[in-house]
Structure formats: structure tokens, C-alpha cells
Chain A
Amino acid sequence: DTGVSQDPRHKITKRGQNVTFRCDPISEHNRLYWYRQTLGQGPEFLTYFQNEAQLEKSRLLSDRFSAERPKGSFSTLEIQRTEQGDSAMYLCASSLGLAGVSADTQYFGPGTRLTVL
């Protein structure tokens, strides 16, 4: 098992451009999460999927953000009309999705660092 992978690892873009990030979870994991982490802070939850269904979205996820997991495997996070405030590390995590068990550990990928100029 190769763990959670994310692509690209780094992205530099100009304000107003659209960007898309990809996350490949651990193969048998049903749940997939997106977080955003700014410098000096802990990760903040953005959204998560149970298989292909998007079950929760944070208020941090503005209309410019959209996430998909079309076949319940990999996921994409798109940011439209990027702003300088979008500069952050975008982390993806996956978990088995153990129902009714709070110890459903999330395993994280290496992240995509976005810089908006």
C-alpha cells in the first residue's frame, strides 16, 4: 500500500486562474477528506466524501471551490478564480469509514502547496 498521494505537490498560479488538485486515497478506504492549512495553523476541514457522495462541506468552502469523487476512488478539488487568500497547503486524507467508531483514523497525503501571485 503506497498511502495517500496528491498531485501536484506544488502549484503557482496567477490570481483569477483556475486550479485543480487530485487526491488518490488508500485503496480500500471509503472516506476521503479535504483540508486546508495555512502557515502556522493546524489543518481546517473543507469537505468529505463517503464513497462518491459528498456528505459535509465546511462554510470555508466558498462557491469558488468544488470537489468531486466521481467513482468513489480518486477525488479532485477545483478552485475557480483564485485569490491570494487561497494560498495554502491543501491536504487530502482517507479513512476506512468504520461506521459508529470514533477511532476511524484519517491518513494524510503529502499535500499540495498552492501559491497565488
Chain B
Amino acid sequence: AQKITQTQPGMFVQEKEAVTLDCTYDTSDQSYGLFWYKQPSSGEMIFLIYQGSYDEQNATEGRYSLNFQKARKSANLVISASQLGDSAMYFCAMREGNSSASKIIFGSGTRLSIRP
């Protein structure tokens, strides 16, 4: 069964606008971690932000914030004041369990394109 679902294959956003990338997940574990990565056309996966299942506050890193709604099992990425350099693939990912010794499962990604 697919664990991470990203329903938006592609999105177009005007520069300087905020954008929300959707991610829902499925797990029976109480402890898990959620990640967002950015993959530009160069291919390298760039870590953006992390949210633990027990974290009470939504994670923020600069222009990135994670809208974590545990009951809905959603972990949407919000990018404020989008820039042309934000154009890339964005992947939501999850690690189950409270140990770091487990693999990360990725969604299929959302391609974000920023219009000037």
C-alpha cells in the first residue's frame, strides 16, 4: 500500500506568491518522522524541513513551513514568497518508528514551476 500520497503532479505559481504543496501519509505507528526534499533539474535531493509526529509546533525553516495536521495525516509544505529558484520537484517522505534505523519512503513528487 502506498504510504505517501502527493496528489498534485504539477503546479504553476506566480513569483512572490505563497504556495502549498499537499502531502498525506498512511501509517499505523504512533512515532514517525516526515520530511520534505527539493530536487532541482540537476538531480540532487536537497533536505528542506522535518516534522516529528510528537512535535507540537509546526516546523519552520526560513521560507518553508510544514502544516502538520496529525488527525488528517497530512503534512503540507508551505513556501512563502516564492522565488524563481524554487522551481523544482518536491518530495514528501516519511520514516516510520522512533528509530533512525529505518528507511525513508518517498511520495511521487510535485513539480513546482514559478512564473516571473
Contact = CB atoms under 8 A, between A and B. Distances in A.
Interface of A: 31, 33, 40-45, 48, 50, 55-56, 58, 89, 91, 93, 95, 97-111, 113
Given A102-B32, A103-B33, A103-B50, A42 B43 contact: no
Contacts of A109: 44
B78 interface: no
A45 B104 contact: yes
Contact of A42 (B33, B93, B103): B93
A110 B32 CA distance: 27
Contacts, number: 71
A85 B36 CA distance: 28
Nearest to B99: A100
Contact of B43 (A55, A103, A106, A110): A110
B13 to A, nearest CB: 21
B32 A48 contact: no
A111 B44 contact: yes
Interface in B72-113: 91, 93, 95, 97-101, 103-109
Contacts of B57: none
A15 B98 CA distance: 42
Given A42-B91, A42-B109, A48 B103 contact: yes
Given A42-B108, A56-B103, A102 B45 contact: no
Given A42-B107, A102-B33, A55 B100 contact: no
A101 B54 CA distance: 12
B45 A91 contact: yes
Given A43-B45, A110-B42, A111-B43, A102 B104 contact: no
A55 B101 contact: yes
Most buried by A among B33, B42, B44, B93: B44
Contacts of A110: 42-44
A102 B27 CA distance: 15
22 contacts: A31-B100, A40-B109, A41-B109, A42-B4, A42-B91, A42-B93, A42-B107, A43-B45, A45-B104, A48-B103, A100-B98, A102-B31, A102-B32, A102-B95, A102-B98, A103-B50, A104-B100, A105-B47, A106-B47, A108-B37, A110-B42, A111-B43
